[in-house]
Amino acid sequence: MSPVKVLFIGDVVGQPGRKAVQQLLPGLRTRWEFECVVANGENSAHGAGITHSTAQELLNAGVDVITSGDHVWDQKEAATLLEKEPRCLRPLNYPAGVPGNGSFVVARPGRLPFAVINLQGRTFISAHDNPFLAVETEVARLRKSTPLILVDFHAEATSEKVALGWMLDGQVSAVIGTHTHIQTADERILPNGTACLTDAGCTGGQAGVLGREWAPVVHRYRTGLPQRFGICETDVQLQGCIIDIDDATGRARSIHRVIEKLPPA
């Protein structure tokens, strides 16, 4: 049986990031024949938050599931989006009663479904319910129907991301980190078959600071004064990773990083 090919797209930042997905994803999907495409879209609207229209742009471009993190609530319409669109996730470990869902199952007719879980860390980031405890219950529930499970762990500390990968080794297909916007070079498959990458990177302008223009960021660091961080529109890239997963066991067979440059207009 052929492996399940999954593309994970790192944090999409603003209009440049959405443009990269719209223009580059169709070709990537044709070239690699992805079964599922997951993108972190919490910064897809003006560089902070997500809206109905920006989510729809990503879904129309071929993204199957949109994950998020600590900026998911930055746009006021986020709550209604999460209630109406189950393919858009907020972290699983938010308190009970918060709008939206922390996981989604992609149906694959005639084959095992593919599940996506969204988590948020607690180290150096907003505190929520313990992600290590919350994910255990959700993984156990999902494994009753499929071993094909990907976790987007939106967290600041590399240690927290690496630790979750080890805890879930053999229980999920992949643990992919987001939030820090810098693609790391530590992709690997753990002994029991879970693919891990500490951070998938940033889909957007690279000639700045984490997808924003560099000058106001530098001014903020120099002076300590508030600044408006504009969106970087130069050297736009789609960053992420491709994971090959055994369709029967859910064990990852390979993982490699992706950097695709958007040609200049």
How far CA 27 is from CA of 11, 18, 30, 104, 122, in Å, comes to 19, 15, 5, 25, 37
CA 7 to chain centre: 10
Q: Please give the Cα distance from 7 to 161 (Å, whole number).
A: 19
Q: Name residues whose C-beta falls within 8 Å of residue 265's C-beta, 6 or more positions apart in sequence.
A: none
List all residues 6 or more positions away from 76 whose beta carbon is below 8 Å from its beta carbon: none
Residue 256 bears catalytic tag = no
**Contact at 8 Å (CB) between 10 and 203?**
yes
Q: What is the C-alpha to C-alpha distance for residues 124 and 104, in angstroms, rounded to an integer?
A: 27
Integer CA distances (angstroms), 239 to 72, 135, 211, 234, in order: 20, 26, 12, 15
Active-site choice (71, 128, 154, 181): 71
Return d(Cα 29, Cα 5) in angstroms, integer.
Answer: 10
Backbone angles phi, psi at 181, to 5 degrees: 65, 10
Matching residue, tokens 């994950």: 67
d(CA 135, CA 115): 13
For 69, the 3-state DSSP assignment is coil
Residues carrying an active site annotation? 71
